[in-house]
Structure 1
Amino acid sequence: MSVRSRVRDTLAVLVVALVARLVVVAWAAPRFPPAADGTFYHRIAERIAAGLGYTWLWPDGVVTYAAHYPVGYPGLVGAAYAIAGPWPGAAMIMNALVGALAAVAVHRLAARAAPRGPALAAGLLVALHPGLVAYTPALMSEGVTAALVACGAWAAGWVRDAIEDVSRRRLPWGRLAVLGLVIGAATLVRPQSLLLAPLFALGALAVPGRPHALRSALLGAALASVTALAVCAPWTLRNCVRMKHCALVSVNGGWNLLIGADPVSTGAWSPVKVPDECREVYDEAQKDVCFGRAARRYIATNPGPWLSLVPRKLAATFDYCGAAGWYLHDANGAACDERCKVSLGAVETIYERLMLLLALVWASRSLWAEMRRVVSANEGGGARKRLVLPWGSLVRLGVFVLGVVFLFQVHAWVSYVAFAVLALLRGRALVRGPVLPAAAVLVLVATIATHAVFFGAGRYSLVVFPLLSGVAALAFAKPRPASEGGDAPRL
């Protein structure tokens, strides 16, 4: 593929993604005020834009420092408000601009793994993803997180480009630092994103044949992690001083852990049940510490009941997203009534399950080649052909069938887990192959692990959709020969 073709395809993906999102913003801006957590982000952003910092004004006029929610998203919205004024439409436009980058990132990653057509399809699948596009008006952090994580994977692909250059003997320190910077920004928006800094670096550096490969991979992972932590360090220091608690980003981890440690939990968010020991604790950070201590005590004394909540949490996260319809309906039920909410959810669910089906096909593609193999067997003096499948292939076939069956059931979370298992069973082929599928699996596994511990919500699955849609486009693409690596796009 020529450089001109690559640039043209990337611009096409960017334009489609931006236009789709800006059309939704033009419709939504005059109709939908901030809702749900968006009301908090909006108020904090107003204060940040006015130079008042991350502080909260109470009804009695008292102002306190705050850090309950991560600072990254209200900081971005505050920057938009500082430019355009405290108008929610400015935040929506910012969402559109950042969200469009996810489509570009996935296209660039897919172009490293497949020919031009499937790579372009990967970008367009993200550009037109109904869940991501319709969620653009939401003053919520998940869409921005999804885009930043996709850009982090793109940076990991850039690191891989340097490693595959046989003339390069040293680690690409600058590119690893860029990876850390992007994941650091994502961490300020969603703290658990920090896990992806070392994982993406390790995945990018997992190239066979390089001298001291393990040591290089560990050094690269350390550099990416340290850089991501350095991005957060000023805010951590602020918390040490202002909150009297050195939280990395926010002080809601204890709250969330306690919500997910409720024996009658549905797996989704519910109002926190304040333990007796925490009722007289009013400091924001110390209350979070108290909640976390109570949650850990419950988990330690009731491990069985706590573990039994995991399927409910994953179901709340992956069975049905519906974030766009939920938010729009909550913000203005007249402009997006119940029918609007259900219709958006239906379209999005069909789209997401189709993407997951194609991703399952990709993850099991080598299995079909194995199933086409037959051997000759001499039986009764004659020869006959029979299919021979090793136990490993039978296990993969069973996981694939399970994943497909649950795609048509309520509990699609089983299908997401099945995709992760199938992809991981590819072993070295996953690690040494293109960055896009490996990054998608890492993000999915990290999301599963996070919400198995805390609690689930459909909007939390949004972070998985861009990279998973890219993998879906690879399902029927013929892998690019290694000799074509030099023609893969850079950046």
Structure 2
Amino acid sequence: MSAQVIRFPTPPSPLAQRLEWFGTERSVLLAIWALYFALRVAVLMIDVAPTSDAEWYYIRAVSLAAGNGYLDNTGAPTAFWPPGWPIALSLVFSQFGASTVVLGLFNLVSAMLIGGLTLALGRRLFGSEAAARAGLLLLAIYPNAIGYVPLALTEVFYTMLLMAGCWAIVTRTNRWQLVGAGLIFGFATLVKAQTVVVIPLLFAIEWLRQRNIWQRFPRLFGEGLLVLGVAILTVLPWSVRNHAQLDHWVLISTNGGYTLLTGNHDTATGDYTPDALVVKHLMARPGLDEVSRDAEAKRLGLEWIEQNPGKFLALAPKKLMRLWLPDGEAEWAYQGGAPGYERFEAVYRAMRYANQAYYAVLMLAFAAAFFVMLMKRHRDGQRWIGWWLLPYGIALYPTLICVVFSGQSRFHYPVMPFVCITAGWLFVHLLNRRADRAG
């Protein structure tokens, strides 16, 4: 008589149970949101006045809210720097009054939307609730992301627009959503002119992530043109305004040539460091108006690149290091605009060092996740191209732009929610592997 062995399922390990609790329990998600919100409200308690770029944007927003138009410091119409952020801020100021308190609350709303989009994109890109929650948690405690909330800089508002545009395309089910994506990307382009580069990137991933790529190409090409066309139409009224008030066609802003030149001259260091001789050369020609001066700067920059291709290529690694190695630049705004900075300088500096270490962990995880995902998809028999590549595409576009212009750590701020999403997936994936082995 033979005995039949009855095998029972292996009980889940304690680690697997904790992961399931983290990914399913509603109280966990509420706790993450509470932490995310509380840290950003807490930083709003710091009094910090707008300085440098932030001061320019803030003054333009106040001027627009008062009905005086988009004017330079002399009171003349200008197209210097993209106007999207001051326009958005002026709409808020016109309703609630112009103050740094209103500014901070507006940024807080944008930051909360960034959190929601981080969670939603995490679920969509990686198909895991636990990974999405981990990404939101990583972003919740990221000091540099928190530090920007009281500042009158573009980064928080722009990041929200960028993520919303990506979400609209990734989740689209009809062409009206494509029109909405075009409007979002159009306004984002008014905040940062290089945003249009993201549109073909998104559709390239969508095109290559499934089979039958050539059969799908005409439809996706048409959808991409629709989004791009709506974005251009969104920008067009500003371009018409520039022609009417400046007597020149200026698509978005008149600082592109200046930015190009300050990143490409004989004493350039890879950062946005205007050389004194460069500034003197531009300012020494008072007969030039703003548009002509920017065109002259562009000519000089392109001429320098053409005459010094070796130096231009040698600057590329320096620009990339300026873009990706340092982090925590929000501290500079507090150093210049917070009255209590000197009293708490040691605290600010300690937070800066802690932030740099945290940033290094995020970026190492971001890099490692690329190879781990490739191996996982190969093992599972999936195409290697998928929406999981979106965070790396978003990281690629400021990288390419900084090689031509200049590198600043501030430029990678909009990429960081995507980095947190990817790092969150990696941590959960590795913990799941460990839980499976334990079980």
Superposition TM-score, scaled by structure 2 size: 0.84
Following the alignment from structure 1 to structure 2, what is the Cα–Cα distance between the partners of residues 121 and 371?
A: 24
Between the aligned partners of 1:153 and 1:11, the Cα distance in structure 2 is 25
Equivalent pair of 1:100/1:127 in contact (CA under 8 Å): no
Question: Take 2:175 and 2:224, find their aligned partners in 1: how far apart are those partners?
Answer: 11
- CA shift in 2, pair 1:367/1:94, >3 Å: closer
CA contact (8 A) 1:206 1:217 kept: no
Equivalent residue for 2:346? 339
- 1:307-361 Cα distance to aligned partner (Å, 9 max, x none): 1111111111111122211111111263365423422221221222111222222
Tell me if the contact between 1:198 and 1:224 (Cα under 8 Å) persists in the aligned partners. no
CA RMSD of aligned residues (A): 2.8
Q: 1:329 aligns with which of 331, 335, 356?
A: 335
Give the letter aligned to residue 46 of structure 1: V
1:20 is displaced (CA, Å) by 2.5
Q: Which residue of 2 aligns with 1:111?
A: 123
Match of 1:33 among 43, 49, 57: 49
Does the C-alpha gap of structure 1 residues 248 and 427 become closer, same or farther in structure 2, counting only changes over 3 Å? farther
Q: Does the CA contact (< 8 Å) of 1:236 and 1:246 recur in 2?
A: yes
Distance 1:326 1:340 in 2: 14
1:423-463 Cα deviation digits (max 9, x unpaired): xxx99513xx2x3x322111111111111111111211111
Moved more, 126-135 or 461-470: 126-135
1:465-480 to structure 2, matched below 5 A, reads 465-477=416-428
Cα pair distance change 1:241/1:17, threshold 3 Å = farther
Task: Give how far 1:45 is off.
Answer: 0.9
Deviation string, structure 1 residues 143-191 (Cα, Å, up to 9, x no partner): 22222212222222212xx3xxxxxxxxx32222222222112111111
1:22 aligns with 2:41: yes
**C-alpha separation between the residues in 2 aligned to 1:187 and 1:248?**
11
1:446 matched residue in structure 2: 397
What's the secondary structure of 2:306's corresponding residue?
helix
* d(CA) in 1 for partners of 2:240, 2:25: 43
Give 2:9's aligned residue: none
Determine the structure 2 residue equivalent to 1:304: 310
Shift of 1:206: 4.0
Aligned length: 401
Q: Name which of 91, 94, 97 aligns with 2:106.
A: 94
* Displacement after TM superposition at 1:68 (Å): 0.7
Q: Which runs of 5+ in 1 are unaligned?
A: 163-171, 373-425, 480-491
The equivalent residue for 2:363 is 356
Distance of 1:229 and 1:103 partners within structure 2: 28
Name the CA shift for 1:322/1:444 in 2 (closer, same or farther; >3 Å). same
Match of 2:169 among 138, 147, 156: 156
CA separation of 1:370/1:200 partners in 2, compared to 1, >3 Å: closer, same or farther? Answer: closer
User: How big is the shift at 1:124?
Assistant: 2.4
Equivalent in the alignment of 1:180: 182
- Conserved 8 A contact 1:356-1:468: yes
Trace 1:404-423 onto structure 2 (pairs within 5 A). Answer: none
1:142 and 2:155 are equivalent in the alignment: yes
Matched, 1:279 2:284: yes
Given that residues 275 and 294 in structure 1 are in contact (C-alpha distance below 8 angstroms), is that contact kept between their aligned partners in structure 2?
no
Aligned partner of 1:195 among 179, 183, 197: 197
8 Å contact kept, 2:148–2:330: yes
Provide the residue aligned with 1:42 in structure 2: 58
Asked if residue 263 in structure 1 is aligned to residue 269 in structure 2, the reply is: no
Q: Distance in 1 between matches of 2:228 and 2:134?
A: 32
Residue pair 1:251, 1:288 contacting (<8 A) in 2 also:
yes
C-alpha separation between the residues in 2 aligned to 1:229 and 1:254?
Answer: 21
Amino acid at match of 2:308: N
Q: Which residue pairs with 2:384 in the alignment?
A: 429
- Residues 19 and 370 of structure 1, relative CA distance in 2, 3 Å threshold: closer
In the other structure, the counterpart of 1:459 is: 410
Map of 2:206 onto structure 1: 204
The one-letter code matched in structure 2 to 1:98 is S
Report the residue type matching 1:77 in the other structure: L
CA contact (8 A) 2:374 2:384 kept: no
The one-letter code of the counterpart of 1:101 is L
Q: Identity rate of aligned residues, in percent? A: 24
Query: Which one is further off, 338-347 or 224-233?
Result: 338-347
Question: CA–CA distance in 2 between the matches of 1:174 and 1:371?
Answer: 36
Partners of 1:68 and 1:42 lie apart in 2 by 14
Considering fraction of residues, name the structure with more helix: 2
In structure 2, runs of 5+ residues without a counterpart are 1-19, 431-439
- Comparing 119-128 with 72-81, greater Cα deviation is found at 119-128
Structure 1-normalised TM-score? 0.75
